[in-house]
Amino acid sequence: MQVPATRREFEGTPSPSAPDDGPGNVLAQWHTGTDAVRCLSENLDQLVSACPDATLFNSREWLLPAAEYLLAGRKLMVLTIRDRDALVGMVPLTWGTEWLAGIRVRTLRYLGYPYSDRIALLVSPACKSGFAELVDAMLACPEPWDLIMLDEVLGSDVDRFTQYVSRHASGTRIRVRHCARSPILPVGDAADVAVEQQYSSSLRTRLRRARKKQVASGKVEIRCVRGAVEDCDALVAAIAEIEGISWKGDEGVGVFRPGPRRDFFSEVTRGLFARDRLDLWLMHLDAKLIAYRWQPRFGGAVLDYNFAHLPAVGALSPGRVLLDEAVQAAARDPDLDRVDASRGSISRPHLLSDWTTEYLDQYALWLANATARGALMHFLAVRVNPWVRRLRHRERPSVVEASA
């Protein structure tokens, strides 16, 4: 279903830097239902290729399975921007209601939440007015909304978004939160020096000790599986079992947990295998699978997305050794120029930070609409939550003293 657009909301306006982008040339349009799915299937690859900051989580390999398995009762809404019928921008969102801080709120979220890592706002650089059209159309969503919640957004997109909204949508309140820091390791021709020369003495020591422990524990086999479409089900079952036994399974945060998320990641795995865009690193000890790293490839990068190991082998540091194998392989691969953590905690850095000091920051961007619930959520996020955190911080020393 295509949602009709009004002239002011969705037609292009003249741009001084692009005099050809006049009214009637640029069209923004919302799509729902099967029409929205069609938008994700057609022309998206070409748009992703035209956007230098696009990531795997903007691609059809990720978004089509998300539209099938991750809606959870929410409505799929895809916003497209076209310039003379050419697709120059797209934002796939889901609309629905959810409870936040005890308040029932109408939200728009990026399709793939909460499993997508870094996302870019897809607008072709060739369309000068495309970004403004995209923002205007998002704010004029035909469904009533209180919050637009975009997670893991690049700082450059956040800057453009907040500057435009501040100038052109004064009734919309903005909240930006630093949510992730992703280490990035250049390899191959992109690196100034060979990867091995970048290793610190402490990293060399840790890797040497880990490999020595592994050799002493039994026969260790490490291999990278690629393009294994026919074996996909068996491989997913094997790594899902490892993840289920690990701490991720205990806390219910594993991506291969049975249910819609398992179906989603199984489909993504199959699609990535089919296009030779997935490195699945496996570590066996005496022929028993003990650890894995699930690493998609995209745009010259290998993304260290998911890892798990059996709790009993934690002392063998299987994660560090597997990551080093992946780093060494990436350095030898002419198709790769970097290893990318894709996401990383600010308080507890991703393991890849042992290899590199380079990183990208990612942000959560909230737009609060001029509704009662939108204003209330913005007040809670900006005023109340920081006050609660400061109060807890002040109380922490007295709690420690009492427990002592």
If DSSP states are collapsed to H, E and C, what string results for the chain?
A: CEECCCHHHHECCCECCECCCCCCCEEEEEEEHHHHHHHHHCCHHHHHHHCCCCCHHHCHHHHHHHHHHCCCCCEEEEEEEEECCEEEEEEEEEEEEEEECCEEEEEEEECCCCCCCCECCEECCCCCCHHHHHHHHHHCCCCCCCEEEEEEEEHHHHHHHHHHHHHHCCCCEEEEEEEEEEEEEECHHHCCCCHHHHCCHHHHHHHHHHHHHHHHHCCEEEEEECCCCCCHHHHHHHHHHHHHHCHHHHHCCCCCCCCHHHHHHHHHHHHHHHCCCEEEEEEEECCEEEEEEEEEEECCEEECCEEEECHHHHHHCHHHHHHHHHHHHHHHCCCCCEEECCCCCCCCCCHHHHCCCCEEEEEEEEEECCCHHHHHHHHHHHHHHHHHHHHHHHHHHHHHHHHC
pLDDT single digits (tens) 19-38: 344 545 899 999 999 999 99
Report how far residue 96's alpha carbon sits from residue 107's, in angstroms, rounded to the nearest whole number: 6
Predicted confidence at residue 390, as pLDDT, reads: 56
pLDDT single digits (tens) 95-110: 999 999 899 999 999 9
Judged against a pLDDT cut of 80, whether residue 363 lies above it is answered with yes
Report how far residue 234's alpha carbon sits from residue 5's, in angstroms, rounded to the nearest whole number: 47
Judge contact between 293 and 304, C-beta under 8 A.
Answer: yes
Judged against a pLDDT cut of 60, whether residue 256 lies above it is answered with yes
Judged against a pLDDT cut of 50, whether residue 137 lies above it is answered with yes
Provide φ and ψ at 140, rounded to 5°. Answer: -100, 25
Predicted confidence at residue 402, as pLDDT, reads: 32
Predicted confidence at residue 1, as pLDDT, reads: 59
Question: pTM here?
Answer: 0.88
pLDDT single digits (tens) 57-83: 999 999 999 999 999 999 999 999 999
Predicted confidence at residue 343, as pLDDT, reads: 92
Judged against a pLDDT cut of 80, whether residue 239 lies above it is answered with yes
Assign 165 a pLDDT band (cuts: 50, 70, 90).
very high
Which residues are CB-contacts of 333 (< 8 A; sequence separation ≥ 6)? 188
Assign 191 a pLDDT band (cuts: 50, 70, 90).
confident
pLDDT single digits (tens) 314-335: 999 999 999 999 999 999 999 9
Average pLDDT over all residues of the chain:
89
Lowest-pLDDT choice from 2-6, 119-123, 147-151, 309-313? 2-6
Kindly state the greatest CA–CA separation across the chain. Answer: 72
Predicted confidence at residue 212, as pLDDT, reads: 97
Lowest-pLDDT choice from 17-26, 216-225, 329-338, 373-382? 17-26
Assign 193 a pLDDT band (cuts: 50, 70, 90).
confident
Report how far residue 5's alpha carbon sits from residue 380's, in angstroms, rounded to the nearest whole number: 33
Judged against a pLDDT cut of 50, whether residue 397 lies above it is answered with no
